[in-house]
With several copies, the nearest count.
Chain A
Amino acid sequence: MNPKERIARRVALEVQPGSLVNLGIGLPSMVANYLPEHVDVFFQAENGVIGLGARPPEGMEDPNLTDAGGGFVTAVPGAASIDSAMSFGIIRGGHLDMTVLGGLQVDQRGYLANWMVPGKMVPGMGGAMDLVAGAKRVVVAMVHTAKGTPKIVPECALPLTAERRVSLIVTEMAVIEPTEKGLVLREVASDSSVDDVLAATSAELIVDEPPAEMTLA
Chain B
Amino acid sequence: MREAISAAAAAELIPDGSTLLIGGFMGVGSPLRMIDALIEAGRKDLTVVANDTAMPGRAIGKLVSVGAIRKAIVSHIGLNPETQAQMISGEMEVELVPQGTLVERIRAGGVGLGGVLTATGIGTPVEEGKQKVEVNGKSYLLELPIKGDFALLAANRADYVGNLEFSLTAHNFNPVMALAAETVIAEPTSIVPIGVIPPDAVKTPGVLIDHLIERAPV
Question: Do the two chains touch directly in the complex (Cβ atoms below 8 Å apart)?
Answer: yes
- Please report A residues at the B interface, Cβ cutoff 8 Å: 20, 40, 42, 44-51, 62-66, 68-70, 75, 77-86, 88-95, 111, 122-130, 133-134, 159-163
| B169: nearest chain-A partner, CB-CB | A48
Bound together, the chains give a CA A126 to CA B87 distance in angstroms of 17
Convert B161-181 into 0s and 1s, putting 1 for each residue whose CB lies closer than 8 angstroms to a CB of A: 101001111111111100110
C-alpha spacing A49/B215, complex, angstroms: 26
B206, A80: Cβ atoms under 8 Å?
A: yes
Q: Are A51 and B199 in contact (CB under 8 A)?
A: yes
Residues A81 and B202 in contact, CB atoms below 8 Å apart: yes
Chain B contacts with A in 107-126, Cβ cutoff 8 A: 107, 110-113, 118-126
| Contact (Cβ within 8 A) A48 B124 | no
Residues in chain A near residue B200, CB distance under 8 A: 81
Do the beta carbons of B194 and A78 come within 8 Å of each other? yes
Question: Across the two chains, which residue of chain B brings its CB closest to A40?
Answer: B1
Q: Which of B4-12, B34-42, B63-71, B95-103 is near enough to bind chain A?
A: B95-103
A49 and B99 in contact, given A40-B1, A94-B112 (Cβ under 8 angstroms): no
- Expressed in whole angstroms, the Cα–Cα distance for A90 and B179 within the complex equals 8
Per-position 1/0 for B49-90, Cβ under 8 A of A: 001100100000000000000000011111100001001000
**B156 contacts A by Cβ under 8 Å:** yes
Say whether B27 faces chain A, with CB atoms less than 8 Å apart.
yes
Closest CB-CB distance, B199 to chain A, in whole Å? Answer: 4
Q: Are A125 and B179 in contact (CB under 8 A)?
A: no
- Residues in B with CB closer than 8 Å to A66 are 25-26, 28, 169
What are the residues of chain A within 8 A of B100 when measuring CB–CB?
Answer: 88, 91-92, 127, 129-130, 134
Of the residues A81, A86, A125, contact of B75 by C-beta under 8 Å: A125
Over the window 195-218 of chain B, the binary record of Cβ atoms lying under 8 Å from chain A Cβ atoms (1 yes, 0 no) is: 100011011011110000000000
The answer to whether A95 and B179 touch across the interface, beta carbons within 8 angstroms, is: yes
Roughly how many angstroms separate A213 CA and B111 CA in the complex, as a whole number?
Answer: 39
Contacts A80-B163, A159-B125, A161-B124 hold; do A65 and B75 have CB atoms under 8 A apart? no
Q: How far is the CB of B172 from chain A (nearest CB, A)?
A: 5
Q: Which residue of A lies closest to B107 (CB)?
A: A85
B29 contacts A by Cβ under 8 Å: yes
Task: List chain B residues, Cβ under 8 A from A161.
Answer: 124
Would you call A126 and B26 a contact (CB within 8 A)? no
B174 and A95: CB pair below 8 A? Answer: no
Q: CB-CB < 8 A to B123: which residues of A?
A: 111, 160, 162-163
Given contacts A40-B1, A78-B159, A93-B180, 16 further A-B contacts (CB under 8 A): A48-B171, A62-B168, A66-B26, A80-B163, A80-B199, A81-B167, A81-B168, A83-B176, A84-B173, A92-B120, A122-B77, A122-B87, A125-B126, A127-B75, A133-B119, A162-B121
| Chain B residue at minimal CB-CB distance from A20 | B207
Give Cα A44 to B76, complex, Å: 19
In the complex, which residues of chain B have a beta carbon less than 8 angstroms from the beta carbon of A42?
Answer: 161, 207
Bound Cα distance A126, B29 (Å): 17
**B104: Cβ under 8 A from any A Cβ:** yes
Question: 5 smallest A-B Cβ distances: which pairs?
Answer: A123-B78, A163-B123, A88-B100, A130-B100, A70-B26
